[in-house]
Structure 1
Amino acid sequence: MSNNSDFQIEDGVLIEYTGKDKDVVIPDSVTSIGENAFYWCGSLTSIIIPDSMTSIGDSAFYECKSLTSITIPDSVTSIGRYAFYGCTSLTSITIPDSVTSIGYEAFCGCKSLTSITIPNSVISIGYNAFCGCKSLTSIIITDLKAWLEIDFGNYWSDSRYNFFLRNNKITKLTIPDDVTSIGNGAFSDCKSLTSITIPDSVTSIGKDAFGGCESLTSITIPDSVTSIGEEAFCVCESLTSITIPNSVTSIGEFAFSGCTSLTSITIPNSVTSIGENVFEDCTSLTSITIPDSVISIGYRAFYECENLTSITIPDSVTSIGDCAFSDCTSL
């Protein structure tokens, strides 16, 4: 237990801060900030964390609404779930190269945060880590390959950003030749991205990998890719055409849903099923040919494709899901 009555410390873990100071310096004896240690400390405006610190626990600064700045030392390796949740006055934060994981909703609701730099040490970013960060417009990446190797879980954001590779805004993205997979949510909602070049080394495109990339107009998928994940290109509103290579055997649910400018798409003979909602709300799609390899068309697969005037369904198809062509008013 610390001699300082404002801090409850046990075995190097800061259990609770009970003081009312606006500016707080954590004692050097602390090695980790425990769960809820500064929970709802409404008066806290700034904090200095000692170099002895290795982790920031779950909900450590939860709803510290007056916190405007914090310096995280190079000794910290993990930022826990909800660590800075609801810190609505936090305008900037530097994540050091030592950090390997950023937890679930770690910065959710930090509505004054405008940009953040993700170091190449980070290997996991939790679900909705930056959700509700209404002012966050820039994500700065220090290493593209390292970024592509991050485990994003399902999703990591709910807003649209400009991505920067070091100091350059990413508009035309070339994936490095040694990358084998594009992870879940890797460039989800990257509003500045206009084109992507994917090398032959890539075999899979993850869930929501490019979902919501509103400026994306073209993409070439190489013959090496075998699977396209759920929502991989959903709501890419500027994408006009796409060719799926013969190597692809599976297309996830909602993969191209909401691609409202998509006028044509080629489905290869390697595909055996068209999943649920895959082309839902592709309102500019006028015609499509389904190859003989397809045996099933999923629920709402072409729902609300209002300009679809013709579709060829082969004899190989044995099942068509409910509402597969509902509200295709031009058919």
Structure 2
Amino acid sequence: MKNAIKVLCFTLAVLIVGASAIMIYFKWDKSEFEYVDGTEKGTVIITAYSGDSKDIKIPSKLRGKKVTQIDTNAFEDSDITSVEIGNNVTYIGKSAFSGCKSLKTVKLGKSILNIDENCFGDCTSLEEITLPKSIEKLGGSIFANCSSLKKVELEDGSNFAIKDDVLFSSDMKKLYFALPYAKLGSYTCPDSVETIMPLAFFSCKNLTEFTFSNKIKVVPQGIFVLCSNLKKIEFPESVNQISSVITLQSGIKEITIPSSVKTIDNNAFIKSDGSVDTSLVIRTTSGSKAEDYAKDKGIKVELIK
């Protein structure tokens, strides 16, 4: 009987200690962030946020593993008001913080290499941000519709430059995008620019005229989407390719396309419902690719010399 009692007591003690250990483990393991293992050993990717705090700090590590990425849509439409990103994060995914309308303050870590497309889109309370010098790549329209944004600063030694509230590569050969507070009016692209990134002038409603540099070969996707006060555009002789969704929901009604253009995307000039915008007039030379394209799409052609 005494032996049975001893065994019972021992068993209960083991169970209690085990339960306590499990409770301690889960308390330690609990996180406000949802995450998965990264592609590199010893790293994790934050995929979502389930905490209650509106002022959040992305940690450098979770469960001893480095937090190196913030996934696509990870914080989309959340009601956070500030975020500080840890110094192990190198990549912030597409639309990671888009729609965070209460987000006012963002502090980026010192190791970020890539901020992807629309990362802070529709963050209508965001007022200012500093881009660290570590950044090597920026996606299109990362600040789209950030209506309260008044200042974007670059750290010394940055890979980028800002001129007339438009962001470029530091050598001025690549144009990334116009900042939301840019007063563009009649804008002339600097002569040094060879490449314009997709969505570069997305929703620039005060853009009234645009002049390309003579080094541009490709008109990028979505360049003038929602530019409601831009009425006409003229592509230079250097252009040989026109990408998709160039004029969607813009004010553009007249487009001059040179004979140098040999490729025009099937969806270059479409409306919101995906149909061809037949209200356009394409001005081009006889026998050009643009003439054939316009006739095939039912767009009016005006021949020029």
* Pairwise TM-score range, normalised by the shorter structure: 0.5 to 0.7
Cα drift, residue 320 of structure 1: 4.8
Change (3 A) 1:114 1:56: farther
**1:170-181 to 2 correspondences below 5 Å:** 172-173=165-166, 175=168, 178-181=171-174
Task: Tell me if structure 2 keeps the 8 A contact 1:181–1:202.
Answer: yes
Cα drift, residue 234 of structure 1: 1.7
Alignment-derived partner of residue 6 in structure 2: none
- Partners of 1:320 and 1:265 in 2: CA distance: 11
**1:280-299 to 2 correspondences below 5 Å:** 280=270
Change (3 A) 1:115 1:233: farther
Cα drift, residue 227 of structure 1: 0.9
Change (3 A) 1:102 1:139: farther
Gaps of at least 5 residues in structure 2 are 1-19, 155-161, 301-305
Number of positions where the alignment pairs a residue of Structure 1 with one of Structure 2:
260
Change (3 A) 1:202 1:273: same
What TM-score, normalized by structure 2, do the two folds share? 0.63
Alignment-derived partner of residue 17 in structure 1: 30
Alignment-derived partner of residue 45 in structure 1: none
Task: Tell me if structure 2 keeps the 8 A contact 1:236–1:258.
Answer: yes
Task: Tell me if structure 1 keeps the 8 A contact 2:168–2:174.
Answer: no
Summarize deviations over 1:277-307 as a string: whole Å, max 9, x none: 43446xxxxxxxxxxxxxxxxx9654333xx
Alignment-derived partner of residue 204 in structure 1: 195
Alignment-derived partner of residue 240 in structure 2: 249
Alignment-derived partner of residue 325 in structure 1: 299
Task: Tell me if structure 2 keeps the 8 A contact 1:131–1:157.
Answer: yes
- Partners of 1:112 and 1:118 in 2: CA distance: 17
Alignment-derived partner of residue 153 in structure 2: 166
**1:215-294 to 2 correspondences below 5 Å:** 215-260=206-251, 262=252, 264-280=254-270
Structure with max Cα Rg? 2
Alignment-derived partner of residue 58 in structure 1: 46
- Partners of 1:106 and 1:116 in 2: CA distance: 13
Gaps of at least 5 residues in structure 1 are 19-23, 25-32, 38-53, 282-298, 327-331
Amino acid aligned to 2:166 = L
**Percent identity for Structure 1 against Structure 2:** 23
- Partners of 1:86 and 1:95 in 2: CA distance: 16
- Partners of 2:249 and 2:34 in 1: CA distance: 43
- Partners of 1:276 and 1:127 in 2: CA distance: 23
Match of 1:140, SS state, is: strand
Alignment-derived partner of residue 67 in structure 1: 53
Please state which structure has a larger fraction of its residues in strand.
2
Task: Tell me if structure 2 keeps the 8 A contact 1:58–1:83.
Answer: no
Alignment-derived partner of residue 114 in structure 2: 124
Summarize deviations over 1:303-324 as a string: whole Å, max 9, x none: 333xx5x966724444557653
- Partners of 2:49 and 2:170 in 1: CA distance: 41
Q: RMSD across aligned C-alpha pairs, in angstroms? A: 4.3
Match of 1:217, SS state, is: strand
Cα drift, residue 240 of structure 1: 4.1
Change (3 A) 1:172 1:58: closer
- Partners of 2:69 and 2:260 in 1: CA distance: 43
Change (3 A) 1:176 1:81: closer
Change (3 A) 1:197 1:127: same
What TM-score, normalized by structure 1, do the two folds share? 0.59
Cα drift, residue 102 of structure 1: 1.0
Change (3 A) 1:312 1:105: closer
Summarize deviations over 1:12-42 as a string: whole Å, max 9, x none: xx8x418xxxxx9xxxxxxxx77279xxxxx
- Partners of 2:23 and 2:270 in 1: CA distance: 60
- Partners of 1:223 and 1:247 in 2: CA distance: 6
Match of 1:192, SS state, is: coil
Amino acid aligned to 1:68 = K
Alignment-derived partner of residue 91 in structure 1: 81
Please state which structure has a larger fraction of its residues in helix.
2
- Partners of 1:118 and 1:85 in 2: CA distance: 15
Amino acid aligned to 2:298 = A
Match of 2:205, SS state, is: coil
Cα drift, residue 192 of structure 1: 2.0
